[in-house]
Amino acid sequence: MARFAIAYATSEGQTRAVVDHLADALREHGHQVTVDDVASTENAVGSVTAAQAVVVAGSIHGGRMQPRLVRFVSSHGVALSERPSGLLILSMSAASRDAEARARLDAYLSSFLACTPWRPDVVEFVAGALRPGGLGPIRRTLAARLARLVGLPTDTDLDCTDWDGVRRFADALARWFPRVGVPIRAPGDSHRRPDEHA
């Protein structure tokens, strides 16, 4: 059992839903998980420093992660680097498989990492959601442009998140901490003791 801290930022709520799903899956693996919005900076920092592994999550708007998330990773890059860590980035570009969308994902990641010494051990790109009805006129226009860009309808709610994929990401993180008591042996060397080497 390990202690995971998930620190996140969300603008319309999808990242919060994704990290809740991730946290539930990690708990099913027997891990303890805290989930903190980085807007509550003290709580988020306290959880990160008490944890054995960290996940940072946020979403892309206008090509960038939330400024408060950028501030968090630039101020606390050392604490993040001291433990195994993952980064989860939600965007609509991740809903597309075309080369331009993939290039945008790389650009989002590079510009985010340029502001921090932290280098996550794993990065997961997750397709997000668009709910135009809940947006003001300017954001709705942007969201429609984006939906068009990735070849999706512009006037309906879209939830493109691969929830099973989020669970698989949790399974991969959980494997960082094998259960206590599982013997670790070098492959092919299981019956030989050190004093049996020539």
Q: Which residues of the shown chain bind ligand FMN in the complex (CB under 6 A)?
A: 10-15, 59-63, 90-93, 128-130, 135, 139, 142-143, 146
Residue 46 Cβ, how far from ligand FMN at the closest point, in Å?
A: 23
Shortest Cβ 128–ligand FMN spacing (Å): 2
Is 27 or 140 the residue whose CB approaches ligand FMN more closely?
A: 140
CA gap 25, 13 in Å, rounded: 19
Q: Which is nearer to ligand FMN, 114 or 180 (CB)?
A: 114
Distance separating alpha carbons of residues 55 and 6, to the nearest angstrom: 5
Output 14 or 34, the one with its CB closest to ligand FMN. 14
Helices marked H in the chain: 14-28, 41-50, 67-75, 77-81, 99-113, 137-149, 163-174
Which of 144, 127, 123, 125 is CA-nearest to residue 135?
144
Measured over the CA atoms of residue 179, residue 183, residue 189 and residue 195, the dihedral's sign is: positive
Complex with ligand FMN: residue 26 or 90, whichever CB lies closer: 90
Cβ contacts of 117 within 8 Å, gap of 6 or more: 77, 78, 81
CB 101 to ligand FMN: min, Å: 8
The residue (of 2 and 17) whose beta carbon lies closer to ligand FMN is 17
- Is 1 or 103 the residue whose CB approaches ligand FMN more closely? 103
C-alpha pair distances (Å), 151 with each of 93, 146, 154, 163, 196? 10, 9, 9, 21, 64
The closest alpha carbon to 12, from 109, 170, 129, belongs to 129
Least distance from C-beta 64 to ligand FMN, angstroms? 8
Cross-strand bridge partners of residue 99: none
At its nearest, how many Å lie between ligand FMN and the CB of residue 177?
Answer: 27
C-beta of 62: minimal distance to ligand FMN in Å? 5
Q: Give the residue closest to ligand FMN by C-beta.
A: 128
